[in-house]
Amino acid sequence: MSDHYSVLGVERDASADEIKKAYRKLARELHPDVNPDPASAEKFKSVTTAYEVLSDSQKRQSYDMGGDPFSQFGGGGANFGFGDIMDAFFGGGGSRGPRSRMRAGQDALIRIEVDLAEACFGVEREFEVETAISCSKCHGTGCADGAQPSTCDICRGRGEVQQVQRSFIGQVMTSRPCASCQGYGSIIKSPCSECAGDGRVRARKTITVKIPAGVETGNRIQLTGQGEVGPGGGPAGDLYVEIIESEHPYLIRDGINLHLSVSIPMSSAALGGEVMIETLDGERKVAFKPGVQSGQTILLKELGMARLRGGSRGDLIVHLHVSTPTKLSKEEEELLKKLATLRREESSTVDIHRRDEKTDSGLFGRFRDVFNR
C-alpha cells in the first residue's frame, strides 16, 4: 500500500490546511478534465484516496496506527461526497442547503434636470417612479389567504437532491438543486393571486428628493431603501438620483464661478457709465470707468455658484465687449472724423503691440475659451 503522505507530498505532521492545499494543487494538475493522460487518471485516483484518508481525523488516526482506515466505514474503496472533492478542488467550503425566498432588491437610477438657479440654491422635487413594491395582499410572503409554504416532498426541505454514481475513483455523490422546489426546500401550493407568489408587484409611487445647493451635472444623490423591493418581501435597494444641469441663456458656469458677457456702446466705453445685468440673485448695477477696453472684466464677489458642501459662494465675472457700430449716418460719420482729427487718430495711424502686452484679443480670447468648453 502506498504512503498517503508521500502521495500528497506532505510531512506526517502536516496540518489539515496543508493537506488540503497539497491535494488541491495535485488535483488541478491530474484531474481528467484537465489532463486526459490515462496515467494521470490513476495518479488522480491515488491522490483522491490519500486525501480522503488524511482529511478525516478518524481515518488518519487509524492509518497512522497501521490499521485499515476503511474497515470501520464499511470496506475499502474511495467513497466520499462529490462536494468534498469540489471543495478541495475549487477552494469551496460554503454551506449547502435550501436558498431563501427573500432576497434583496435591486438599486435603481433616474436622472433629473435642474436649471442653474436650482443647482445654485438647491430645490426639493417630487417625481413618480415605476418600481417593485411589497404586495399588500400577502405582505411579501407570496402565499394566499395567510397560508404558509409547505416542505418539498422530493428533497424534504434540503433544497437539493443527491445522486450516487460510480466512477474510476469509486462512488461519487453529486448534488443539484431540487427541480420540484427550485432549491427553496418548500413549495407555495396556494400562491397569492395578486403577485403570483413573488411577494411583490409593479406600481408607481411618488418620491421626494432634496437637491442640495451647489450640485452639478453628474452628481448623484442616494435615497436609501427607495429602490426595488426584493422577492419574497426582501429589503429594498437604493435609488440614485443623477443631476443633469440645463444650460442658462446667458450665464456660463465654470466650477463655482459664473461668466457673463456684456456689450457696451463705443461712446459709453470712452465716457464710462453703468449697465444693469441679471444675476441669479436678481438685477445688479455694474459701473465701468471711462476708457474701458474689450476683454476687460469686472468681478462681482459671491454672486456665483454655491459650494456643494457649504462655505462662501463663487464669483460672477462680467466680461465687457466694446461694440463698434457697423452703420453710421452722415452726421455720425462727420462727428467721428472730427474726433479722429482732434485725437490724431487718422486711419493711417496704428499702434503695434509687443507680444507680452495684454491686448484686447488675448483677454477676451480666454473668455471665449470658457464658452467653447
pLDDT score of 373 = 42
Higher-scoring residue by pLDDT: 267, 66: 267
Bridge partner residues of 196 (DSSP): none
- Identical fold between 4-90 and 102-139+194-246: no
Would you call 290 exposed, middle or buried from its count of C-beta atoms within 10 A (0-12, 13-18, 19+)?
exposed
In angstroms, the CA 81 to CA 155 distance is 17
In angstroms, the CA 54 to CA 217 distance is 62
Is residue 85 scored above 90 in pLDDT? no
Going from N- to C-terminal start, the domains of the chain cover: 4-90, 102-139+194-246, 252-371
What does the pLDDT average to over 303-323?
93
What does the pLDDT average to over 118-132?
94
CB 22 within 8 A of CB 6: no
Is residue 99 scored above 70 in pLDDT? yes
Is residue 36 scored above 60 in pLDDT? yes
Higher-scoring residue by pLDDT: 318, 358: 318
pLDDT score of 76 = 40
What is 4-90's CATH topology?
Helix Hairpins (1.10.287)
Query: pTM for the complete prediction?
Result: 0.62
Residue 60: band (very low, low, confident or very high) from pLDDT cuts 50, 70, 90:
confident
pLDDT score of 297 = 96
- Please, what is the Cα angle at 249 between 247 and 254, to 5 degrees? 55
Handedness of CA 47, 53, 55, 61 (dihedral sign): negative
| Length reported for the chain | 373
In angstroms, the CA 321 to CA 262 distance is 6
Mean pLDDT (the chain) is 83
CB 169 within 8 A of CB 78: yes
Is residue 88 scored above 70 in pLDDT? no
In angstroms, the CA 63 to CA 68 distance is 6
For the chain, helix, strand, coil in percent to 5 are: 25, 30, 45
What does the pLDDT average to over 283-305?
95
What does the pLDDT average to over 166-181?
75
- Please, what is the Cα angle at 163 between 157 and 167, to 5 degrees? 155
Is residue 290 scored above 80 in pLDDT? yes
What does the pLDDT average to over 133-149?
90
pLDDT score of 358 = 53
Is residue 185 scored above 60 in pLDDT? yes
pLDDT score of 1 = 53
Is residue 368 scored above 70 in pLDDT? no
Would you call 289 exposed, middle or buried from its count of C-beta atoms within 10 A (0-12, 13-18, 19+)?
exposed
What is 102-139+194-246's CATH topology?
HSP40/DNAj peptide-binding domain (2.60.260)
Chain-centroid distance, C-alpha 85: 37
CB 316 within 8 A of CB 300: yes
pLDDT above 70 coverage of the chain, percent: 80
**Could you tell me if residue 344 is left (phi over 0), alpha (psi between -120 and 50 degrees) or otherwise beta?**
left
pLDDT score of 347 = 61
What does the pLDDT average to over 255-275?
94
What pairing do the DSSP bridges indicate for beta strands 186-187 and 273-279?
A: unpaired
CA-wise closest residue to 238 among 131, 142, 122: 131
Residue 37: band (very low, low, confident or very high) from pLDDT cuts 50, 70, 90:
confident
pLDDT score of 257 = 97
Top-ranked range on mean pLDDT: pick from 93-107, 134-148, 200-214: 200-214
Is residue 366 scored above 70 in pLDDT? no
Q: Name the grid cell of 57.
A: 481525523
pLDDT score of 73 = 41
pLDDT score of 128 = 92
pLDDT score of 83 = 44
DSSP label at residue 181: T
Show the DSSP H helices in the chain as ranges.
4-8, 16-30, 38-54, 57-64, 82-90, 116-121, 266-271, 330-342, 360-371
CATH architecture of 252-371: Sandwich (2.60)
pLDDT score of 175 = 80
Is residue 281 scored above 60 in pLDDT? yes
Rounded to a whole number, what is the distance in angstroms from the first to the last CA of the chain? 79
Residue 90: band (very low, low, confident or very high) from pLDDT cuts 50, 70, 90:
very low
CA-wise closest residue to 317 among 289, 271, 286, 338: 286
Is residue 89 scored above 90 in pLDDT? no
DSSP label at residue 288: E
Is residue 309 scored above 90 in pLDDT? no
Amino acid at position 236, single letter: A
In angstroms, the CA 297 to CA 363 distance is 9
Is residue 270 scored above 70 in pLDDT? yes
pLDDT score of 360 = 47
Q: Name the grid cell of 219.
A: 452628481
